Amino acid sequence: MQLFRTLLLALFLISNVQAVVPEAPEINASGYLLMEMHSGKVLVEKNADQRLEPASLTKIMTAHVVFEEIAKGKLKLSDMVHISEKAWKTEGSRMFVKVNSDVSVEDLLRGLIIQSGNDSAVALAEHIAGSEDAFAGLMNAHAAQLGMTSTNFVNSTGLPHPDHYTTPSDIVKVTAATIRDYPDFYPMYAEKQFTYNEIKQYNRNNLLWRNNAVDGVKTGHTEAAGFCLVSSAKYDQMRLIAVVMGTESAKARIKESQALLAFGSRFYETHRLYEAGQKLTENRVWFGDQKILALGIGEDVYVTIPRRDYDNLKPTLEVKAKLEAPINKGDSLGNVTVMLGNDVVTTRPLVALAQVEKGSLWRRFLDFIYQLLGME
């Protein structure tokens, strides 16, 4: 019997031992960041808030603005865009549009995303805002809305300029917003080739051929910026976004991005713990038109944790001492805290899942008496 108890205790202890995660890989880049998109958990970072030149990573924001214009009904994929001499002459990578021709927004978007066309970036900017300078103002307005506090754009292409900069932390914000908010357009980033003007060009993101989980996002390169890559990959419930800026070669940006994605996918996992609107508990409400109120979560809650640690998660609920009507649906009435060992994984508001109005005079009188008598 003693041996049996010892074995049970050993199994219990083994099952509650937290997973061990090795040190993150050393990445040879000016700045980098690996984040899980749903939970917002940053898994690896270095110089993530340092201002760096983004080169063509800029075009993630250029496309984001175009997607927003389409979503608002101000622009259609079928709209034709006149190609100015400035757009046609823009140096760097191109989709090879012809001056004074008319090209659809859809073709220009593919030229922007797949071929990294500077000509398509300028053409879209001029069509939407009248000039590239004005469009840069739109880009900065969107950056402010997304909380990109260390970013400033002066053009739509990413061509070098002393006042054109961003950070790995900021780039991941616009990337995550694009994936989350524009699921109909994001698949363009996974397209491996695009032919325009009888010229076939291949997506510069070579990870699309090397990792089936990868479905984006964007490369960039100038002499000043070095070789940059934002990549994203889907593994079950996990969506990883890796930002690598300032590597020494096109091969290096692929190698370093692969190292980050491999680290994240091998040693971490993401779970949706709660769905939006899910009831977690119910509590007594005083002086209301109903006595019981369901409490839960207002939005999906994801956590990213070391692999095999799911069973070690421990959620706790904390509710305000006394709930009194009126209560609006969505009011924060406490917290849900999820612990892993001694670490807080996440804390979210515990909200009212229904409306509670003030009860009748009789109902409120009864509740007053119940409280005086210490009754429920």
Question: Strand, helix or coil at 136?
Answer: helix
Catalytic residue from among 30, 39, 56, 231: 56
Q: Do 181 and 263 lie in a common domain?
A: yes
For 225-251, how does the pLDDT look when each residue is reduced to its tens digit (9 = 90+)? 999 999 999 999 999 999 999 999 999
Residue 345 lies in a domain: yes
User: Could you say which of 214, 241, 268 is where a domain stops?
Assistant: 268
Q: Do 166 and 254 lie in a common domain?
A: yes
The pair phi, psi for residue 200, each rounded to 5°, is: -90, 130
Residue 1 lies in a domain: no
Q: Do 148 and 222 lie in a common domain?
A: yes
Mean pLDDT for all residues in the chain:
93
Mean pLDDT of 252-280: 96
Encoding tokens for residue 239?
A: 């969506």
Is the pLDDT confidence value at 186 over 70? Answer: yes
SS3 of the chain: helix, strand, coil, percent, to 5: 35, 30, 35
Mean pLDDT of 166-176: 98
Is the pLDDT confidence value at 11 over 60? Answer: no
Answer yes or no: 156 catalytic.
no
The pLDDT, as a whole number, for residue 262 is: 97
The pLDDT, as a whole number, for residue 374 is: 74
Catalytic residue from among 39, 41, 59, 120: 59
Separation of first and last alpha carbons in the chain: 47
Encoding tokens for residue 277?
A: 């609107």
Q: Do 233 and 137 lie in a common domain?
A: yes
The pair phi, psi for residue 33, each rounded to 5°, is: -160, 140
Q: Do 318 and 251 lie in a common domain?
A: no
For 43-92, how does the pLDDT look when each residue is reduced to its tens digit (9 = 90+)? 999 999 999 999 999 999 999 999 999 999 999 999 999 999 999 999 99
Residue 192 lies in a domain: yes
Instruction: Classify the C-alpha dihedral 213-217-220-225 as positive or negative.
Output: negative
> Judging by beta carbons within 10 Å of its beta carbon (0-12, 13-18, 19+), is residue 235 exposed, middle or buried?
middle
Residue 364: which pLDDT band, with cuts at 50, 70 and 90?
A: confident
Mean pLDDT of 122-148: 98
162 Cβ contact partners less than 8 Å away, ≥ 6 residues apart: none
The pLDDT, as a whole number, for residue 10 is: 41
Residue 37: which pLDDT band, with cuts at 50, 70 and 90?
A: very high
Q: Do 81 and 203 lie in a common domain?
A: yes
Q: Alpha-carbon distance 316 to 314, whole Å?
A: 7
119 Cβ contact partners less than 8 Å away, ≥ 6 residues apart: 83, 87, 88, 90, 94, 95, 96, 97, 111
Residue 23 lies in a domain: no
The pLDDT, as a whole number, for residue 19 is: 73
Is the pLDDT confidence value at 179 over 90? Answer: yes
Residue reference for tokens 């096109």? 250
Q: Do 162 and 306 lie in a common domain?
A: no
Residue 25 lies in a domain: no
- We report the CATH number of the domain holding residue 295 as 2.60.410.10
Catalytic residue from among 30, 93, 116, 120: 116
The pLDDT, as a whole number, for residue 365 is: 77
Q: Do 232 and 295 lie in a common domain?
A: no
Residue 7 lies in a domain: no
Q: Do 218 and 307 lie in a common domain?
A: no
Is the pLDDT confidence value at 8 over 50? Answer: no
Residue 17: which pLDDT band, with cuts at 50, 70 and 90?
A: low
Q: Do 259 and 285 lie in a common domain?
A: no
Is the pLDDT confidence value at 342 over 60? Answer: yes
Q: Do 205 and 93 lie in a common domain?
A: yes
Question: Which residues span the domain enclosing 94?
Answer: 31-268
User: Could you say which of 231, 249, 268 is where a domain stops?
Assistant: 268
Answer yes or no: 84 catalytic.
no
Can you name the residues that pair with 294 across neighbouring β-strands? Answer: 282
Encoding tokens for residue 313?
A: 């998660």
Residue 26 lies in a domain: no
259 Cβ contact partners less than 8 Å away, ≥ 6 residues apart: 25, 27
Answer yes or no: 231 catalytic.
no
Residue 22 lies in a domain: no
User: Could you say which of 246, 268, 290 is where a domain stops?
Assistant: 268
Question: Which range, of 4-18, 196-210, 242-256, 303-317, averages the lowest pLDDT?
Answer: 4-18
Number of domains in the chain: 2
SS3 per-residue string spanning 13-72: HHHCCCCCCCCCCCCCCCEEEEEECCCCCEEEEECCCCCECCHHHHHHHHHHHHHHHHHC
Residue 14: which pLDDT band, with cuts at 50, 70 and 90?
A: very low
